[in-house]
Amino acid sequence: MLDINTIAELEKIRTPFYLYDMELLRKTVDEAVLMAGRYGMEVHYAVKANSDSRILRYIAGRGLGADCVSGNEVMFALGCGFPAEKIAFAGVGKTDMEIETAVSHGIFSLTCESLQEIQVVDSIAGRMGVRANVMVRINPNIDAHTHKYITTGLDENKFGIPEHEFDALAGLLSGCANINFKGFHFHVGSQILDVGEVYSLECERARAVVAFFAEKGLHATNIDLGGGLGIDYRDPDAHPVPDFEAWFRTLQEGMSSISQEGCVRPSVHVEPGRSLVAQCGSLITRVLYVKYGVNKTFLITDAGMNDLIRPALYGAYHKVENLSASARDCGMKTYDVVGPVCESSDVWGEDRPLPESVRGDLLAIRSAGAYGQVMASRYNLRDFAPSVYLDRLCEVPDSMKMVKLA
Ligand SMILES: *Cc1c(COP(=O)(O)O)cnc(C)c1O
């Protein structure tokens, strides 16, 4: 909820831009850190959700680790202050160069996703004369009850090693001289709201996997249960900070009965992305035109699917707010809010009730802090929307100031 003075400051900035509320980020990280301490979780922030350097430096400064999915993310995370021993690196298609980068920095773990990748990591580490820290990603075959594009833990998904290869995996790991086996990794999907059910099931599978390999002499010292905690896109102001308590409690309870003959308890890791950063970001855009269709009224904005692709890619819902109208006394209308890009999927929302809106009004597309700016493209040769920070509005350079609409 922004006050009138803040909105007046935002009105002066050229749109579109991403607005980050660092105070909300602080509260969110506070809660995650508090609950991680209470339930014994080690938290690695999933850098791919938002790699804005100020956000990364802030999260690194709070002592969290990083979860990366490319060599560039590993390098960037290191540059933003994440220590190598807290960086995990997952992904089904790491290149030899990316593996060398990770191995040479001695990161916490390379999370291997196929038998062949384990062989390649072993041979690269051997050539470099070091031992590579490796976690093995297992495909737990669990339905996360989320969008099919963000479900990752089913047999039909490309991620992780499936059960029918477990025997071969055990044999392979025992024979790799240049690998330091650290444990198992699971990640079942994203925007998971069914916390109790999905994560209890994940823990059950994790316990079974640990027990199976312990019997073959492979002891896990770490279990990484991935990310995926969902957020409230419908009503971000009602739930600005996700329920880390419920998530971590479910995981802790789920892992409490883990048994590994004669071994210490593995430490438990999580990799939240969306839940840490989604609510602190909004995409701020202006209404360029109000257009009267046959049965619809369109608000056409200056931000498009190139700035935030989630609605076009997943049919994702983002709440749209008219910031300028909060200072006016006006009735409600129903609008289709759409972007300027030459694709019919470039739609923010259909039949949205909003205060009567006019050309020049500022709109906030809420909950855009995760998988927003990081997925932007220059499609249609449009410019990238820059970052603006709510606590640093006075530092916005003149070059980003608004040119008045005609
Ligand atoms: C994307 C990803 C995450 C983060 O998922 P969120 O839903 O944003 O919490 C964690 N781990 C891995 C391996 C991922 O690919």
Q: Which has the closest alpha carbon to 53: 27, 75, 28, 24?
A: 75
Beta strand residue intervals within 31-94, DSSP E? 41-46, 65-68, 87-89
pLDDT recorded at residue 291: 98
The reply to whether the predicted model has a pTM over 0.85 is yes
Instruction: Using the Cα atoms of residue 385, residue 75, residue 69 and residue 201 in order, give the sign of their dihedral.
Output: negative
Q: Which atom of ligand 1 is nearest to the CA of 192?
A: 7
User: What's the 49 CA to ligand 1 centre distance in angstroms?
Assistant: 8
Higher pLDDT among residues 17 and 329, named by residue: 17
Ligand 1, from 45, 47, 64, 67: best to mutate by most atoms within 8 Å of Cβ? 67
Report the distance separating Cα 142 and Cα 201, nearest Å. 7
- Over the stretch 287-322, which tens digit does the pLDDT of each residue have? 999 999 999 999 999 999 999 999 999 999 999 999
Ligand 1, from 28, 113, 188, 190: best to mutate by most atoms within 8 Å of Cβ? 190
If you average pLDDT over residues 44-70, what whole number do you get? 98
Proportion of the chain in helix, strand, coil states, percent, rounded to 5: 35, 25, 40
Beta strand residue intervals within 50-177, DSSP E? 65-68, 87-89, 109-112, 132-137
SS3 292: strand
Look up tokens 């935030």; give the residue: 308
pLDDT bracket for residue 261 (50, 70, 90): low
If you average pLDDT over residues 155-166, what whole number do you get? 88
Q: Which has the closest alpha carbon to 246: 35, 34, 24, 25?
A: 35
Looking at every residue in the chain, the average pLDDT score rounds to: 95
Instruction: Using the Cα atoms of residue 43, residue 75, residue 94 and residue 114 in order, give the sign of their dihedral.
Output: negative
β-bridge mates for residue 89, sequence order: 68, 110
Contact indicator for 74, 52 with CB cutoff of 8 Å: no
User: What's the 69 CA to ligand 1 centre distance in angstroms?
Assistant: 9
Mean pLDDT is lowest, of 17-31, 141-155, 231-245, for 141-155
pLDDT recorded at residue 262: 62
β-bridge mates for residue 353, sequence order: 334
If you average pLDDT over residues 227-234, what whole number do you get? 98
- Over the stretch 75-123, which tens digit does the pLDDT of each residue have? 999 999 999 999 999 999 999 999 999 999 999 999 999 999 999 999 9
Query: Where does residue 191 rank: exposed (0-12), middle (13-18), buried (19+ CB within 10 A)?
Result: buried
User: What's the 152 CA to ligand 1 centre distance in angstroms?
Assistant: 10
User: What's the 23 CA to ligand 1 centre distance in angstroms?
Assistant: 23
Q: Which atom of ligand 1 is nearest to the CA of 228?
A: 7
Q: Which helix (H) or strand (E) holds 180?
A: strand 179-185
User: What's the 207 CA to ligand 1 centre distance in angstroms?
Assistant: 21
User: What's the 215 CA to ligand 1 centre distance in angstroms?
Assistant: 30
If you average pLDDT over residues 200-222, what whole number do you get? 94
User: What's the 270 CA to ligand 1 centre distance in angstroms?
Assistant: 9
Backbone angles phi, psi at 53, to 5 degrees: -70, -30
Question: Which residues have CB under 6 Å of ligand 1?
Answer: 46, 48-49, 67, 69, 90, 187, 190, 226-229, 271-275, 370
Return the half-sphere exposure (C-beta side, CA atoms, 13 A cut-off) of residue 272.
27
Domains and CATH numbers, the chain: 4-16+279-400 (2.40.37.10), 22-272 (3.20.20.10)
Mean pLDDT is lowest, of 21-30, 216-225, 322-331, for 322-331
Contact indicator for 251, 272 with CB cutoff of 8 Å: no
Contact indicator for 287, 299 with CB cutoff of 8 Å: yes
If you average pLDDT over residues 325-331, what whole number do you get? 87
User: What's the 339 CA to ligand 1 centre distance in angstroms?
Assistant: 28
pLDDT recorded at residue 209: 95
Q: Which atom of ligand 1 is nearest to the CA of 190?
A: 7
Q: Cβ neighbours of residue 399 under 8 Å, at least 6 residues apart?
A: none
Report the distance separating Cα 135 and Cα 263, nearest Å. 18
pLDDT recorded at residue 370: 98
If you average pLDDT over residues 170-194, what whole number do you get? 96
pLDDT recorded at residue 158: 84
Instruction: Using the Cα atoms of residue 242, residue 247, residue 249 and residue 252 in order, give the sign of their dihedral.
Output: negative
Ligand 1, from 135, 147, 271: best to mutate by most atoms within 8 Å of Cβ? 271
The yes-or-no verdict on residue 142 having pLDDT over 90 is: no
pLDDT recorded at residue 143: 80
pLDDT recorded at residue 193: 95
Q: Which residues of 252-278 are buried (b: 16+ CB within 10 A; e: fewer)?
A: bebbeebebeeeeebebbbbbbbbbbb
Percentage above 90 pLDDT, the chain: 90
Contact indicator for 42, 268 with CB cutoff of 8 Å: yes
Contact indicator for 316, 396 with CB cutoff of 8 Å: no
Report the distance separating Cα 268 and Cα 258, nearest Å. 11
User: What's the 150 CA to ligand 1 centre distance in angstroms?
Assistant: 9
Ligand 1, from 28, 29, 112, 187: best to mutate by most atoms within 8 Å of Cβ? 187
Higher pLDDT among residues 103 and 142, named by residue: 103
Whats the size of the chain, residue-wise?
Answer: 406
Q: Which atom of ligand 1 is nearest to the CA of 48?
A: 1
If you average pLDDT over residues 326-339, what whole number do you get? 93
SS3 177: coil
Percentage above 70 pLDDT, the chain: 98
pLDDT recorded at residue 406: 87
User: What's the 305 CA to ligand 1 centre distance in angstroms?
Assistant: 22
Q: Cβ neighbours of residue 49 under 8 Å, at least 6 residues apart?
A: 273, 274, 276, 277, 278, 369, 370, 371, 374
Number of H helices, E strands in the chain: 11, 16
pLDDT recorded at residue 156: 75
If you average pLDDT over residues 344-352, what whole number do you get? 97
pLDDT recorded at residue 69: 97
The yes-or-no verdict on residue 184 having pLDDT over 70 is: yes
The yes-or-no verdict on residue 279 having pLDDT over 90 is: yes
Q: Which atom of ligand 1 is nearest to the CA of 370?
A: 8
